[in-house]
Amino acid sequence: MWTFPKYAGPERRRATRWRPRPLRVLLALLVFVFVGYGIAVIWLMLQESRLVFEAGATLGPGRPPFAYEQIDLPRTDGARQFAWRILRDPADASPWVIFLHGNAATVASNVNIAHYRLLRSVGLNILAPEYRGFSGLEGPPTEEGLAVDARVAYDYLRGTLHIPPSRIAIYGWSLGSAVAVRLAAEVDEAAVILEGAPASIADIGQQRYPFFPIRLIMRSKFDSFRRIGRIGVPILFLHSPEDLVIPIREGRRLYDAAPGKKTFVEVRGGHIHASEVDFARFASAISDFLRQNGFTTVAAGQ
């Protein structure tokens, strides 16, 4: 019987050449993971404004059941910015509060109208500025941009209405609390109220995306924890243990970092509806806090 020598023909050589090797497969997987991770990081960077601010594109249909004015705020840079001005009667005798709202909302959102009702009930005039990128205002929302917008509202009270700092309180809710901390650290006011306040938006982002370097890539960090030490007036903290958006431990951490006179009040109702669910406790806590700190014309909560 004839036997033929073994011959590695082209087909066999090709099969041998392309046989997957464990090292080659591992390297391919590593490249795939690395590229995918890089794409995810870039996506998070590009989506930061949408994820952090969720700016409402239009003002929305909400309107308060009491008198208000929508006014254009004077700016030196030519940009358009408006605010809602809600006056007490008599307006000239009442102290003022600058209300800085949170993300995923506008000055006309129902949650903010509920806050106006609350603040009005304790005897305050209200100035609620809108941010750039919200309600159709031009410009992308950023931490620096919102800081400028809040300062414009403060300058309107001081420069146009000639309200002294002793009659101005600054109120920040949710993301707006970080804007309020920065504003209060840079200007003169009589009191600060922070509701559902995060110590650092970047830290919360890092907790939600633990496998990504959020603290490194995030541009708008809203690090109130590092700024609150520059506030020299009394601060009232309002936070709900049921808050699933900004855990109460964040509010406690910011409270611990705050210097000077401070008060922490636990309220019911979670992150969004606490001012409505626990209206009486809110009104009592705010009116007591403001009266104890020189706002003698503030009425008792209704």
In Å, how far from its chain's centre is CA 200? 9
CATH number, residue 203: 3.40.50.1820
Q: Sheet with 82-86: list strands edge to edge.
A: 69-72, 82-86, 125-129, 96-100, 168-173, 191-195, 235-239, 262-266
Minimum mean pLDDT range among 50-59, 63-72, 106-115, 282-291: 50-59
How confident is the model at residue 88, as a pLDDT?
A: 84
Task: Provide the pLDDT for residue 2.
Answer: 45
Task: Assess if residue 57 is contained within a domain.
Answer: yes
pLDDT digits (tens, 9 = 90+) for 206-231: 777 766 666 666 777 899 999 999 99
298 inside domain: no
Identify the domain containing residue 106 by its residue range.
48-292
In a domain, 25, yes or no: no
Tell whether 195 is covered by a domain: yes
Q: Among 45, 59, 216, 62, which Cα is nearest to 133's?
A: 59
Whole-structure pTM value: 0.84
* pLDDT given for residue 4 in this prediction: 41
**Would you say residue 260 lies in a domain?**
yes
In a domain, 271, yes or no: yes
Average pLDDT over residues 137-144: 93
Domain membership flag for residue 80: yes
Does the structure show a pLDDT above 90 at 5?
A: no
Domain count, the chain: 1
Within a domain: 66: yes
Across 35-39, 75-79, 92-96, 272-276, least confident range: 35-39
